[in-house]
Structure 1
Amino acid sequence: MRLLEGQVALVTGASGGIGRGVALRFAEQGAAVALHCRTAVAAAREVASRIEDMGARAVVLEAELRDEAECRRLVRAAAEWAAAGWGGSLTTLVNNAGVQPTQPLPGMTAAQWREVVDTNLTSVFACTQAAAEVMGPGGSVTHIASIEASRPAPEHAHCSASKAAVVMHARSAALEYGPQGIRVNTVSPGLIDREGLARAWPEGVERWTRRAPLGRLGRPEDVADACVFLASPLASWITGHDLVVDGGVSAGAAW
């Protein structure tokens, strides 16, 4: 039996990278998937087509997640799609959408700070709040955080701060939504491979590979498998937890 049979999942930022991997893995495990995108509609539709080729259900929904009203509209549209299509309900939310620009802290503007925080954190708050209003007992929310939540990187102060806040939001939400039977967790990836990364940042890839006990970069599927686990009945007594998926880098010596 597939782990997510009968579930309906909303995955934000599902047009590429980790979000694409999560959406495809959820469909493989039996879930119907609502794929959110902001502007990459063609890429999201390609993911939806692949899901439908598996015999699963998919829909593409557009929204600007820096806008609270848009977050609420997105969740409502996913819930209405589930209800109208086959009488289902939204059971799972994966808050994956995010940005990771680089900017030295001394020259960072408040506008640059807010763009990252609104995208990475405020959208998580608004989407989770909206999803909890339509989910029943057994609902699951997973935020995609980062190992940068506890291990900051140069020029990533806004990103690291937003991801640390995402981890604490999940713990707070786990406390407050637990009585409704809704679980909230985070997955914190390390460096995930993407097309062109080794060419664009060869020294960083080499450093990571050398430090990782498992000797490689992560793949979107590695993060997706962690999300499947947290959304599945196998994790029915797990909430408020941060699942680190980094090939063991965080276990390494700091000096």
Structure 2
Amino acid sequence: MSGRSQLPDLQGLVAVVTGAGGTVGGGIAWEFACAGAGVIAHYRTSAERVHRLVDRITGQGGAARAVAADLAGEADCTRLMEEALSHFGRVDALVNNAGIQPVQDLASMTADDWRAVVDTNLTSAFSCTQAAVGMMRRAGTAGTVTHIASIEGSSPAPGHAHYAASKAALIQHARAAALEYGPYGIRVNTVSPGLVHRPGIEEEWPEGVERYRGAAPLGRLGRPADIGRACVFLASSMAAWVTGHDLVVDGGVMARPTW
């Protein structure tokens, strides 16, 4: 596949990427495939986009399979990992990317609104991690888990209280899991993106895009490949002594003084 020479070599490894139908998730799955990994591309509703992604990967000589699952249920999280094992024979890396980001002010938020975001962004990652790590431990695999968090995990935006809380919790879950799974050779980290470009974002939110570009020392939005390559790095032997770490990929926005 094109781009393979620019990435760490993940030949022979298998990665499960949740939420691969989204812009960031698709970018993560693509970069793992470019690095030589077999990819399980998970989706819940975006079947067409994920199947196009899988066709693109396999059309360029990579290995990928689309798997539908509702990660709100533990059984589907387990089935997702079992599908990976059945198709590829192993699971080496899990990227918990599936999530939602509704905008809603805290004063009008209900407990159901809160639970919908926390269950989708946090509980699904917990359940998928339990399933994947159980499989890794049984196989004696020194695998990796990477949660896609956000810079909002430490710097929330208005209207995102439930989202920011779920992302902060992902960072702490990864650190706790790194402590407990480290003795088995399993590394757990987070990647915290800033604002990532997607088609139409300039038209939908021009003022936000302009503010972000102005605040970023590198002067641009992120690209899906930026997030995907960070995940590939963390899953590779180049990061063999990295665990419990939050890798911020934001163009430098979080380095800017707030006063």
Alpha-carbon separation, structure 1, partners of 2:112 and 2:28:
30
Contact 1:145/1:188 (8 A) holds in 2: yes
Matches within 5 A, 1:180-195: 180-195=184-199
Matches within 5 A, 1:87-126: 89-126=90-127
Report what 2:162 is aligned to.
Answer: 158
Aligned length: 250
User: What secondary structure does 2:80 align onto?
Assistant: helix
Could you tell me the TM-score, scaled by structure 1's length? Answer: 0.96
State the Cα distance separating 1:141 from its structure 2 match: 0.6
Unaligned stretches of 5+ in structure 1?
84-88
Instruction: Report the identity percentage.
Output: 58
* Partner in structure 1 of residue 71 of structure 2: 65
Superposed structure 1 runs of 4+ greater than 3 Å apart: none
The CA deviation at 1:252 is 0.1
Deviation of 1:75 after TM superposition, in Å, equals 1.4
SS of residue paired to 1:3: coil
d(CA) in 2 for partners of 1:42, 1:203: 31
**Residue aligning to 1:14:** 20
CA distance in 1, matches of 2:154, 2:86: 37
* Contact 1:3-1:228 within 8 A present in 2 as well: no
In structure 2, the residue matched to 1:178 is 182
TM-score, length-normalised on structure 2? 0.95
Q: Distance in 2 between matches of 1:221 and 1:66?
A: 27
Match of 1:243 in 2: 247
Provide structure 2 residue ranges, at least 5 long, that are not aligned to the other structure: none
Residue 144 of structure 1, aligned match among 141, 148, 153: 148
Distance 1:213 1:42 in 2: 36
Q: 1:150: how far off?
A: 0.2
**Matching residue's letter, 2:169:** A
Counterpart code for 1:20: G
C-alpha deviation, 1:114, in angstroms:
0.5
* 1:28–1:54 contact (8 Å) kept in structure 2: no
- Aligned position for 1:86: none
- Distance in 1, Cα, partners of 2:176 & 2:101: 24
RMSD of aligned alpha carbons: 0.9
Match of 1:74 among 74, 77, 80: 80
Of 204, 213, 217, which residue of structure 2 is paired with 1:200?
204
Q: How does 1:47-62 map to 2 (within 5 A)?
A: 47-62=53-68
Specify the code of the residue in structure 2 equivalent to 1:224.
G
Contact preservation (8 Å) 1:187, 1:242: yes
SS in 2 for 1:141: strand
Shift of 1:57: 1.0
